[in-house]
């Protein structure tokens, strides 16, 4: 709803929208329609992240007020100049929800006239609101409607056509979907007569699901693990691709028969949501996945062969691996073998030596300063990582917008067995993540002061620094990561007996499963 108002001589536009997705669609529709000096926005959708306040990337902001209003938010912004209404609304999207930037340098902007299906792009586009500089082009990539003529200044252009559709990471996401150790919740579904929607029987009644799924649909499905589609009439493969992929991104397995084993079901859910985000999100359409540096600091020669094999299996499109030898020297042939093993999968490899006189935190900081990636993730030399581990962290950052993303400490290798200990709920904003999985941008790491120069507990210190600076921490699922307690040397001073409590399941020895990269 749009209402005009004049407040203290300013032309302020009053708006009321239901959800964040509604705000994105309204922003697209408003591009190029009128100039305003302010916006008063009421968002009715329940606040997902309490206390989150982003900053609008707008010139001339005189005042910004963000406060709770019922279950939603009231946002008021006043400007010292007139700006396009659509541009102002686009700038308010990262104010009302955490949004992860998708890359450095290039500027992506949206042209007027885009169809509603382009709404997911609103959270990744740069808002071009400043006065044009004669020496700079206004954007590097313009997302345009069909038939829009290309710019004459060399600006790249992509058109949103009739067959373009997206998984929207700000809507179609598994936030709140914890690991279930009890039998899975299965709901039956059938295609309706149009073939474009699923009619699902939920405990609360029937619900019709059609792409694009709304945030209300996602909340209604939060406690459902599996949708079984009648194989005699249609089968799961007949579900329209956009709907099936949006369900997958939320963590819902769409199948004809659910796996009976809990680990297999979780693995299928994680694979499906990862593939949906990797293939059908705006980041995938724009091919704008950030570069990642996986940084491992080690002083243990006997761990190198095993962890090098794991690092060589990591799958990511733009990956650098920094192996920092902490007071450890290798011969030339040993360095070449290690570099070849780590880079076997195509990652760029950087082998560096860090003096033994530096304590753990200072040595980690030195190694990270040598990394080139936009994002940095910590690797521990005694843990186990699946090939998909980096993708899991990057996609979780995409849909959470958190400054630190890490995995849940669910799966633990003890001296004689592997245990499942889901003590810390996954897929939620949290205070704690597994230290050997932490991912943070290089810019955020620098902004909070880097790793503290302490001999231990550097993970906890960084989490506290990010939280004290107003950042968010997000804990994604724990699949694909095994925390190892084998051997006697750990920087975390916690007895093994601690990890033998509250165990939900157990396997003898090291759990061998492709979900963990344990071959």
Q: What CATH number corresponds to the domain at position 299?
A: 3.90.550.10
171 within some domain: no
| Same domain, yes or no: 317 and 277 | no
Q: Does one domain contain both 409 and 437?
A: yes
Query: Per-residue b/e over 260-295, b at no fewer than 16 CB within 10 Å?
Result: eebbebbbbbbbbbbbbbbebbbbbbbebbbbbbbb
Take residue 188 and report the two structure tokens written for it: 């039956």
The list of the chain residues with pLDDT below 70 reads: 1-10, 103-106, 127-132, 151-153, 231-236, 487-495
Q: Determine the pLDDT at residue 8.
A: 44
Q: Do 474 and 403 meet the contact criterion of CB atoms below 8 Å apart?
A: no
Answer whether residue 349 is part of any domain: yes
Residues 352 and 253 in one domain: no
Residues 367 and 475 in one domain: yes
What pTM value is reported for the model? 0.93
- Integer Cα distance of 155 and 132 in angstroms: 15
Query: Considering 283, 303, 332, which residue would you say is the last residue of a domain?
Result: 283
Specify whether the CB–CB gap between 305 and 409 falls below 8 A. Answer: no
Domain count, the chain: 3
Other Cβ atoms closer than 10 A to 346: 11
Both structure tokens of 209: 């699901």
Is 168 within a domain? Answer: no
Q: Would you say residue 199 lies in a domain?
A: yes
- Would you say residue 132 lies in a domain? yes
Residues 90 and 229 in one domain: no
The pLDDT score that the predictor gives to residue 475 is 98
End of a domain among 267, 283, 299? 283
- The HSE-up count of residue 293 (CA atoms within 13 Å, CB side) is 25
Residues 328 and 264 occupy one common structural domain: no
Looking at residue 235, its pLDDT comes to: 56
Say yes or no: 321 and 421 in one domain: yes
d(CA 89, CA 73): 14
**Residues 272 and 319 reside in one and the same domain:** no
- 402 and 309 in a common domain: yes
Considering the domain boundaries, does residue 177 fall inside one? no
Share of the chain above pLDDT 70, in %: 92
Domain identity same for 334 and 233: no
Q: Which domain holds residue 339?
A: 289-516
Domain boundary residue, one of 230, 249, 283:
283
In a domain, 122, yes or no: yes
On whether both 352 and 433 belong to a single domain, the answer is yes
Q: Write the CB contacts of 212 (distance below 8 Å, at least 6 apart in sequence).
A: 21, 117, 165, 168, 171, 172, 242, 246
d(CA 381, CA 435): 12
Do 278 and 328 reside in the same domain of the chain? no
In a domain, 329, yes or no: yes
């Amino acid at each position: 709803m749009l209402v005009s108002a004049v407040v203290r001589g300013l032309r302020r536009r009053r708006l009321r929208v239901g959800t964040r997705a509604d705000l994105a669609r309204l922003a697209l529709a408003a591009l190029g329609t009128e100039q305003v000096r302010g916006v008063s926005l009421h968002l009715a959708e329940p606040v997902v992240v309490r206390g989150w306040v982003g900053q609008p990337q707008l010139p001339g902001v005189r005042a910004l007020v963000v406060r709770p209003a019922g279950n939603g938010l009231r946002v008021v912004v006043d400007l010292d100049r007139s700006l396009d209404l659509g541009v102002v609304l686009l700038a308010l999207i990262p104010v009302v929800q955490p949004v992860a930037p998708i890359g450095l340098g290039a500027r992506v902007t949206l042209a007027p006239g885009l169809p509603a299906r382009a709404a997911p792009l609103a959270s990744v586009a740069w808002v071009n609101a400043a006065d044009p500089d004669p020496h700079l082009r206004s954007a590097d990539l313009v997302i345009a409607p069909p038939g829009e003529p290309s710019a004459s200044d060399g600006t790249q252009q992509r058109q949103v056509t009739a067959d373009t559709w997206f998984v929207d990471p700000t809507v179609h996401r598994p936030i709140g979907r914890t690991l279930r150790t009890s039998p899975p919740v299965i709901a039956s579904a059938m295609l309706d007569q149009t073939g474009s929607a699923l009619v699902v029987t939920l405990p609360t009644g029937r619900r019709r699901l059609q792409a694009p799924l709304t945030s209300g649909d996602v909340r209604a499905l939060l406690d459902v693990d599996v949708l079984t589609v009648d194989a005699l009439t249609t089968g799961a493969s007949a579900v329209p691709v956009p709907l099936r992929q949006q369900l997958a991104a939320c963590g819902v397995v769409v199948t004809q028969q659910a796996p009976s084993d809990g680990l297999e079901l979780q693995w299928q859910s994680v694979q499906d949501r990862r593939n949906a985000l990797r293939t059908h999100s705006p980041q995938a359409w724009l091919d704008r996945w950030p570069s990642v540096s996986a940084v491992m600091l080690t002083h243990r020669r006997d761990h190198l062969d095993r962890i090098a094999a794991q690092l060589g299996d990591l799958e990511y499109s733009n990956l650098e691996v920094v192996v920092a030898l902490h007071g450890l020297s290798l011969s030339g042939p040993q360095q070449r073998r290690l570099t070849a093993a780590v880079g076997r999968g195509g990652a760029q490899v950087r082998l560096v030596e860090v003096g033994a006189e530096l304590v753990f935190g200072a040595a980690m900081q030195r190694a990270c300063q040598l990394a080139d990636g936009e994002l940095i993730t910590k690797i521990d030399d005694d843990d186990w990582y699946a090939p998909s581990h980096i993708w899991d962290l990057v996609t979780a950052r995409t849909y959470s917008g958190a400054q630190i993303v890490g995995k849940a400490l669910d799966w633990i290798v003890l001296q004689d067995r592997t245990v499942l200990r889901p003590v810390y709920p996954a897929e939620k904003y949290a205070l704690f993540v597994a230290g050997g999985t932490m991912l943070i941008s290089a810019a955020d790491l620098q902004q909070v002061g880097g790793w503290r120069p302490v001999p231990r507990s550097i993970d906890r210190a960084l989490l506290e620094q990010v939280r004290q600076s107003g950042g968010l921490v997000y804990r994604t699922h724990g699949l694909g990561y095994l925390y190892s307690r084998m051997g006697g040397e750990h920087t975390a001073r916690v007895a093994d007996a601690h990890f033998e409590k509250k165990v939900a399941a157990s396997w003898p020895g090291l759990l061998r499963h492709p979900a963990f990269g344990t071959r």
